[in-house]
Amino acid sequence: MWLRRDLRLADNTALFAASRENASVCCVFVLDPILLASDRVGAPIVQSFFSALAALREQLRGFGSDLALLRGDFSEQLGSLAERLGATDVYYNEDCEPAIRQRDARVSEILGERGITTHAMKDLPLFGHNEILTDAGTPYKIFTPYKRRWLEAYHTAAPSMIPSVESDHFLSRTDIGATLDVPAPEDFGFSSSTLYPVVHEAEAHDLLKRFLEDGSAASYARRRNFPAMRGTSGLSPQLRAGTIGVRTCVHRGFEAAKAASPAARSAIELWISELIWRDFYLQILRNFPHVADKPFVDAANALQWSDDRVAFDAWCRGATGYPIVDAAMRQLNTYGWMHNRLRMIVASFLTKDLLINWQWGERYFERQLADADVAANNGGWQWAASTGTDAAPYFRIFSPVLQSEKFDPQGRFIRKMLPELRGVPDAYIHAPWKLSPLQEREFGVTLGVQYPLPIVDHAQARIRALAAYEPVLGKRSRGVASSEESAS
């Protein structure tokens, strides 16, 4: 069993398939030093994967087996291990990322030449890229009809849970022989932090159980947009490393919904919709692989972006002078995670207020997020930049002040992340540049020194963005009602 982004023993399609061959299964993970050295990988996700691998090894050792941890070229390492163990088959769960799919095809070919058969299984999404299609048999590009069909398919024939593999199906530790220790992030030049999400299979199940049972899921509709509250599940880093499967989340969600009051049921169903968004973007990436490097919408290639590195750097550091944007970026930089509402706000700010290419933001997120996932990240960025499938129309430009007033009304989240603004009262917390010099002294902040003045004026930036977008995407978006704040 070649583990990749499915670091769990429960509800794992390829692992179960491997165990049904009536042979002993050896679980293997290959560390790729080239991938780990790439600028598309950051400390939070590396820490997640290493801690999930360590926990998985403990589980396997508890069964008298082990995790075979290897390092180097995938086909070389898998081929040599298979030959040493006398294994004829390698099972894995397939990916949706174009680059990984190409790599897997190469690995498969090379292993085939060595007489080893590979088996790629669908496990990452609940429904695969070719299972939810329009009447014409084509992939959906719009979420709402996709979701409708997804739900029909689920309620007609939900994919069943994958049974757990019995402990005696695993190859013994002695037969596996010597393997590498799980490295520390520092071994590959990454820093670690106790503030990053804790990622492993037991933690994932605990999180889901708590979320569904302690009233969080039942109040999801009411709380999910407020970053100062724990209103969402926090499962994204677990789903990224695969310490929990999407089937488990959806099935448990529907079970909880069935037993809940009507209001709680619709809140839980709203949460399940977010997992459907996950499937939606996975199928977009698989069916339209060009999105990995280009806008989904061809016309958007003509957008003229600013290459203002100073502004980009201020955005990355959380020093734009807009408190909600800066607090969000500091959450990302400190915790390796950012609340969804804030992801939408900072992405709109980068692509519209600063007119900086969404791909710069996408890459930055990739390195800072423990849940960095090409499909969801790309989907989120292209949505915000109005270049994607089902994207926000280009004239929907979030006002950072209005968003802040609406979703962090008392500035609780801002003050937590920006202690320099702690003394600023509610009336000014969303727009501290309105303080008079006397008030600055009174509230203990010197603007331009302790906290920056805004790097752009939102009203002017909005006009600039409209002028840049209108000639490129104007025709496409005509007919969509203009509304600044009504996005999801």
Ligand X SMILES: Cc1cc2nc3c(=O)[nH]c(=O)nc-3n(C[C@H](O)[C@H](O)[C@H](O)COP(=O)(O)OP(=O)(O)OC[C@H]3O[C@@H](n4cnc5c(N)ncnc54)[C@H](O)[C@@H]3O)c2cc1C
State yes or no: is 271 an active-site residue.
no
Closest contact distance (angstroms) between CB of 398 and ligand X is 11
State yes or no: is 358 an active-site residue.
yes
Closest contact distance (angstroms) between CB of 52 and ligand X is 15
Residue 203 vs 371, nearer CB to ligand X: 371
| Rounded Cα gap, residues 236 and 216, in angstroms | 16
Residue 171 vs 392, nearer CB to ligand X: 392
| Rounded Cα gap, residues 45 and 51, in angstroms | 10
Residue 59 vs 232, nearer CB to ligand X: 232
Closest contact distance (angstroms) between CB of 225 and ligand X is 10
Closest contact distance (angstroms) between CB of 348 and ligand X is 9
Residue 18 vs 285, nearer CB to ligand X: 285
Residue pair 365/357 in contact (Cβ under 8 Å)? The answer is no
Please calculate the CA angle 225-227-228 and round it to the nearest 5 degrees.
Answer: 125
Q: State the residues that interact with ligand X by CB under 6 A.
A: 224, 232-236, 239-240, 274-275, 277-278, 281, 340, 343-344, 347, 365, 369, 371-373, 376-377, 379-381, 384
Residue pair 368/333 in contact (Cβ under 8 Å)? The answer is yes
Q: Which of 150, 337, 360, 381 is catalytic?
A: 381
Residue pair 165/26 in contact (Cβ under 8 Å)? The answer is no
| Rounded Cα gap, residues 60 and 201, in angstroms | 12
| Rounded Cα gap, residues 177 and 26, in angstroms | 11
State yes or no: is 305 an active-site residue.
yes
| Rounded Cα gap, residues 274 and 284, in angstroms | 15
Measured distance between the N- and C-terminal CA atoms of the chain, rounded to whole angstroms:
40
Q: Which of 358, 360, 362, 366 is catalytic?
A: 358
State yes or no: is 274 an active-site residue.
yes
State yes or no: is 433 an active-site residue.
no
Q: Which of 2, 277, 315, 383 is catalytic?
A: 277
Closest contact distance (angstroms) between CB of 229 and ligand X is 11
Residue 192 vs 340, nearer CB to ligand X: 340
Closest contact distance (angstroms) between CB of 381 and ligand X is 5
State yes or no: is 381 an active-site residue.
yes
Q: Which residue is nearest to ligand X (CB)?
A: 380
| Rounded Cα gap, residues 272 and 274, in angstroms | 5
Q: Which of 97, 201, 269, 274 is catalytic?
A: 274
| Rounded Cα gap, residues 361 and 346, in angstroms | 9
Q: Which of 131, 287, 333, 340 is catalytic?
A: 340
| Rounded Cα gap, residues 166 and 252, in angstroms | 22
Q: Reduced to 3 states, what is the DSSP secondary structure of residue 361?
A: helix
Cα 237 versus chain centre, distance = 7
CA Rg value for the chain: 24
Residue 92 vs 335, nearer CB to ligand X: 335
Closest contact distance (angstroms) between CB of 363 and ligand X is 11
Residue in 119, 126, 162 with CA at minimum distance from that of residue 18: 119
Residue pair 390/480 in contact (Cβ under 8 Å)? The answer is no
Residue 279 vs 440, nearer CB to ligand X: 279
Q: Which of 131, 305, 333, 433 is catalytic?
A: 305
Residues serving a catalytic function are 274, 277, 305, 340, 358, 381
